[in-house]
Amino acid sequence: MLRALWIFLPAYAANMAPVFIAKIFPGWTAPVDGGRVGKDGHRLLGAGKTWRGFVGGALLGGMVALGIALVAPWPIPGVLEGWDYGYAPDAPCSDASGDRICQTVLVHPHPPPLIFLFGAVMGFMALVGDAVKSYFKRRMGKESGAPWFPFDQLDFVVFGLLGMLIASPLLPAGWVLHALLDDWVVLATLFVLTPLLHLLVNRLGYWLGLKKVPW
């Protein structure tokens, strides 16, 4: 269960990034929809979907992926594996583990730029999911910031996973499918626990004055 949250950390981070980067660059508010309005009179995506958010999400996603790869050589059973995100220079998985992919990674440490790019694609896709959801939200006449359960909570999970699949050639062959599919608990955790965590984290963000609404 913890492993699922760990693997998916770049997408979680990316989904939170817009709120933080909004504090750092309050003036950079160019919306992705360029202010355009649909035939229904509502904004295409809304003022809450900015380029700033996408840039922040991709950068943070990439950085978190690198972070995961860097601590991978010190695995915690059931959470971290010796070759998570592909970088395992002196991995303890070396002698003990007979894992073929682990062994391969050991012989050829994975290039950090590829790991960063993987996390960036994952983060970017997480926010594409967020924007796609906003598109449908606007078509339903819901204003920016209005709650829409469970889509507000799961938009970035579906697209973050899609991002992992799209970007999987950037990591050692087989890692993405192994990480996501070897144990059904991983996907189940992402879909069941994420909405709960999302609600908790947003409530916290609201208390801290980072978010305008508590959901």
Which one of residues 64, 134, 175, 198 is an interface residue with ligand CTP (CB under 6 A)? 134
Rounded-to-integer distance, Cα 116 and Cα 147, Å: 32
Residue 42 or 178 with smaller CB distance to ligand CTP: 42
Task: Work out how close the CB of 205 gets to ligand CTP at its nearest, in angstroms, rounded to a whole number.
Answer: 9
- For residue 50, state whether it binds ligand CTP (rule: CB under 6 A): yes
Rounded-to-integer distance, Cα 104 and Cα 82, Å: 12
Binding span for ligand CTP by CB under 6 A among 44-52, 62-70, 80-88, 179-187? 44-52
- For residue 54, state whether it binds ligand CTP (rule: CB under 6 A): yes
Please choose, from the candidates 185, 149, 147, the residue with its C-alpha nearest in 3D space to the C-alpha of residue 8. Answer: 185
Task: Work out how close the CB of 57 gets to ligand CTP at its nearest, in angstroms, rounded to a whole number.
Answer: 7
Which one of residues 33, 81, 84, 130 is an interface residue with ligand CTP (CB under 6 A)? 130
Rounded-to-integer distance, Cα 140 and Cα 119, Å: 32
Residue whose pair of structure tokens reads 């690198």 in the numeric block: 66
Task: Work out how close the CB of 127 gets to ligand CTP at its nearest, in angstroms, rounded to a whole number.
Answer: 5
- For residue 18, state whether it binds ligand CTP (rule: CB under 6 A): yes
Q: How many CB atoms lie within 10 A of CB 70?
A: 16
- For residue 104, state whether it binds ligand CTP (rule: CB under 6 A): no
Helix crossing, 51-71 with 112-139: angle to 10°? 140
Q: Write out the two tokens for 53.
A: 């958010």
Rounded-to-integer distance, Cα 69 and Cα 48, Å: 32
Binding span for ligand CTP by CB under 6 A among 3-11, 47-55, 89-97, 160-168? 47-55
Rounded-to-integer distance, Cα 21 and Cα 51, Å: 11
CA dihedral 53, 160, 173, 117 (to 10 degrees): 0
- Using CB under 6 A as the binding rule, the residues of this chain from 137 to 156 that contact ligand CTP are 137, 144-146
- For residue 33, state whether it binds ligand CTP (rule: CB under 6 A): no
Which residues of the chain form contacts with ligand CTP (CB under 6 A)? 18-19, 22, 46, 48-50, 52-54, 127, 130, 134, 137, 144-146
